A and B are shown apart, each in its own frame.
Chain A
Amino acid sequence: MPINKEELLAEFLKSFKIAVNGALLYTKSHPFFMRYIEDLKRKIDPLFDFLNPLKVVITPNSLVIDDKTFSKTSWYDELVKILHRRKIKSIEFKRGITGQELVVLLDRISLPPLEILKQGGVDRIFSRNDNTHFTIEELDYSSLLIDKEGEGFNEAWFSLVESSINHNETRKINEFADNFQIIVAKIKINDLVTDERLRKSMSDFMNYLKVNQKEKFNKCCQELLESALKYRGELDEAQLLSLQSFFIGLDEKDLANVLWNKLSLDDDFGPVGLRLFSQLAGKDKHKTIVSTVFDKARDISPASGASRIKEKIEKLFSASDNIHIPEIYQNMLSALRENSSLEDKIAFDRDQVDRNYRFILLNLIIEEKDDGALSMLLEKVMEDWDTIIANRDFEYLKNLIEVSRRKTSENPDCRRIFKKIDDRIGSFLEAAVFEQPFNQSIKPLIESIEKSSAGYDFYLEKIFNDKKVNQQALSLFFRLFPGDLERFRNKLEQNRADIDLLVNMIEDLKHVDSLVSLDVLKYLFYSCNEYIKIEALRAMQECSNFDKEFLFSIITRENNALKKEALQVIMRDQEMLKEALQMLFDIPNSFGRSNGVIIERISLVEEIELKEASAFLAGFSRKMFFWNRALRLKAREVLRKWNAE
């Protein structure tokens, strides 16, 4: 019979271990399990005389009770592993613990570790208030990260992250972020690109950080990238794209940091890793990354490991024969190796190969007289069409248009040979004209379009269904379909209620500035509401063309708001203005019957500072008789105001 604390503790732990095993093997109603529980109760109760509460702390390798460490025997080792795997940091038993409570405790901690994680950890499992005589403390999540067991890691990660984000558990998420480097070292990149769930949870985690913790987001992204670069296999394009999406938030400086870290600190970083880096970093960032890394490497002093870097670069450079690394990175390595500058580096430019090939095709086409060979050459150009468009090589398109013109003017029979490519160019340009923002480089090409390949309906679709409109598109549309605006007007009519569309269109019509655009503005004025009318008139104020009859009808019949805008159009032509002012102010006014109207009109000219009306105002300011007093005063007031300025 044990009489001292140590012996009691030893007995207790053995019994606890047996009970845990029993919980793992049997159901909670099984007689064997019940027997183990009874024994455990018998062993724990006397201990409370020495330790109450009795706290069992679980470390990765041992149990600690009352500052005494229990380890290095099979009794304790297995128990430690079982509890530690379930992320239990400590269990505190209090005097009075019942058998039933022990059953609950053991039943729940015997759940598989993944199940515990899925349910949100032991904290959540024991959160229900049915255990008053024991307390479970959950292991700090950062311990998950140093757990050497890798099995089921992805599942654990997924469960933890999902739970933490859903419950907005900032503390846990911060812990993950702070220890992310260790976490990510356990995630296989292959799994990240093939396991949808893992990819989603990683993406959710990163997005959470991006919104809430930008600095941590950057850090974790970089660490993820550094880890990814250890991958030695081949990734197909879809996998690369999915992996690349994680790093879109990293700028050139961050990426350069990662590359520099790999070059300077990772002995295993080789050409495969460098190639993967170049694929993930994004083509448009290469130049700045290379320049930054190059500067870092050049600035490093011998004391800081310059020779080590040099060795590394030599190794990378000589090992890169069978691995395709973009030229820009090869040049960087080569320049570092030879201690020359990046600018001195003679490079093999693969992009230039494609460009020169296309230009040679143009030259061959110009020289070619045989129809069959000409068709073949044009086919070759068409094979490269996607690259031309992807590279936005508008200079090349311009040359292609010129080639087509020259050949068809030399030999009109060639037109049928060039039709396919002409149509392709035309369709592309007609679609490109609607791109937002409009690419100015294609402006000269647009002007070369003589006939629509896309068709009238294409334009209506774009403008009224896709709501894409700009001055170049409108200008092109009016040019290609002159005098054919009936359906266009019908569409305007149908979209009268779409204020945004009409306002945008009016803005563009202003810049188109042609008779046709004026026509459309007038149509909008007549068919739409007050707001659009005003917008249309305002647009006309900046057009070089105007319709006198239309404007005069406004100033005589419409309300003041519209009159004001119309007057501002008329103001641009002095002759027309004179006539307009005459029309406004030189009206029959016996006994001041029209004074009200005139005063309104004076307010109008006052508002727009139409000083050309001064002569009329001067006349009004001298009007006699009491019925003209208000008119006199108003005129004088405005004149005074204008004279003072």
Chain B
Amino acid sequence: MPNNIENALRDLISLLQVIKLYTAMHPRFNKFLDKAYESLRGVLINRQEVIIGIVGDEFVFEKEIFFEFSKTAKSTISYLKARGVEKIIFSGALQKEELAKFVGFLAGDSDKEEVKKNPQEALYLSGVRNITLGKLNSAGAVDSLSVAANKSISYLSLYESSLDQVTDSLDGVLGEQDLNYLPLRFAINNIAENMAVKYNEILKLITLKRYDTGTFIHLLNVSILSMYFSTKLGFSKEDVLDIGTAALFHDIGKIYISRKIIKKTDKLTEDEFKNMRSHSLLGARLLLKHTETLGVLPLIVAFEHHMRQDAKSYPKLSFSCIPHIASIIVSICDVYDALAQRRSYKADYPPNVIYDLINKEKERFFQPQMVSKFFSIMGVWPVGSVVTLNGGRVAIVREQNENDIFLPKVEIMYPPSRKGHMDLHQSQGEDRIESFVNPLRQGKGYLSMV
């Protein structure tokens, strides 16, 4: 029985992912619907109902806890919990149409008032009688976190579950295994959707996560930045997701070559440097095996993301072509995030220095128009940065200012008497940012406020 339930859950999750990515009109949806329904029916034989719960980050059924499966389904669990779903009850009389409506409901707009207030009622009104949603009984538990904190935790959870998915996928590619693309795409899709609504929250996370030296954090950051940048350029959702996915794999060649080389603290030897330079080619080769699942864009970005505007790039090309806009976007985001990260061979740079460095080299390395566009969107001081203002004040950047990339909207944290929000652009030069406060050093005390 536990296997049956797990299979049914797996099929249900796949169905949810398909409807999120392809819509209910797509031929793939019906195929997955049939499968999920058959699985559920198999479970419902001789039972009046099946109750699946989400406790913490795990799927549970009666006495069974699906530890391993829950790990792979982390992003889906976050997704369901964000929609207030902690319990799903399937009744024996379940119809296939109800299952379709149910996943459609889950995939729909969770911010609608009627859904937020009472999802079960909203589901019932949509014609689903044999599936019930609910929360777990939490007698005695006191929720001491504020709504804002809850939201932050959910974004963090989204980030971390996505990171897990990214890690699995990249490890899979590096280990030359088959790639299960659907969960990865689903994770990216979740981020993109949340970014459409709360991009500042996500960008804030990136700023903070930059100080985490986890292996794939940089890749996820670049992916998120690239998606944000693409969205602002007006690309379609499909294109944004493709770029986000491609960005995840842009450095796969580098990772493959040797972690030992990367972690070296002294200078690279000639051979080692040659190997590093060829990582674009190697990355493209690795991704060639996955073009059917990932498409060709990751391969293109992996190959092109170091191509320079002045044509002195690596890899040296026998046959040249103009780099694709996706590669240019990822390239800029890659450098931007990397400059802010601590590496074994360099310190992290403050945002204003990053801006100067990139701007100085934009003619040589990048498309100048794209660099300007990037900073007009991101601003010089990224969201979540801790900064000092004139007059000894300390503030956190909360939002970019479209009118001035140097003067964002901030929240003053210190001194306590000056706490409050301020639009630096509106103060007409009286208030300005003086320096960046590194959260790992002098800015540690402000991290929790971010």
Chain A residues proximal to chain B, CB less than 8 Å: 234, 317, 320-322, 324-325, 327, 330-331, 334, 337-338, 345-349, 352-357, 359-360, 362-364, 366-367, 373, 376-377, 380, 399, 403
Contact = CB atoms under 8 A, between A and B. Distances in A.
A563 B165 CA distance: 88
Contacts of A377: 288
Contacts of A363: 281, 303, 315, 317-319
B284 A364 contact: yes
B148 to A, nearest CB: 27
12 contacts: A322-B23, A324-B236, A346-B325, A346-B370, A348-B235, A348-B243, A353-B324, A355-B321, A357-B300, A360-B303, A366-B318, A366-B319
B317 A321 contact: no
Contacts of A367: 281, 315
Given A346-B373, A357-B300, A364-B281, A399 B234 contact: no
Contacts of B303: 360, 363
Contact of A353 (B23, B235, B288, B296): B296
Contacts of A364: 281, 284-285, 288
B243 to A, nearest CB: 8
B141 interface: no
Interface string B188-207: 00000000000000000000
A286 B288 CA distance: 33
B326 interface: yes
Contacts of B321: 355-356, 359-360
B312 interface: no
Contacts of A324: 236, 238
A349 B319 contact: no
Contacts of B237: 321-322
B449 interface: no
Given A330-B234, A349-B324, A353-B326, 15 more contacts: A321-B237, A324-B238, A331-B234, A346-B234, A347-B325, A348-B230, A356-B323, A356-B324, A357-B296, A357-B300, A359-B321, A363-B315, A363-B317, A363-B318, A367-B281
A14 to B, nearest CB: 50
A403 B318 CA distance: 9
B48 to A, nearest CB: 37
B328 to A, nearest CB: 9
- What 7 pairs between A and B have smallest CB-CB spacing? A334-B234, A321-B237, A359-B321, A357-B296, A348-B239, A362-B319, A366-B318
B236 A362 contact: no
A373 B319 CA distance: 19
A234 B25 CA distance: 8
Nearest to B27: A234
Contacts of A322: 23, 237
Contacts of B300: 353, 356-357, 360
Interface string B383-422: 0000000000000000000000000000000000000000
A321 B288 contact: no
Nearest to B296: A357
A321 B230 CA distance: 13
B304 interface: yes
Contact of A380 (B23, B238, B288, B324): B288
Contacts of A349: 324-325
B236 A360 contact: no
Nearest to B370: A346
B304 A325 contact: no
A325 B325 contact: no
Contacts of B236: 320-321, 324-325, 327, 330, 348
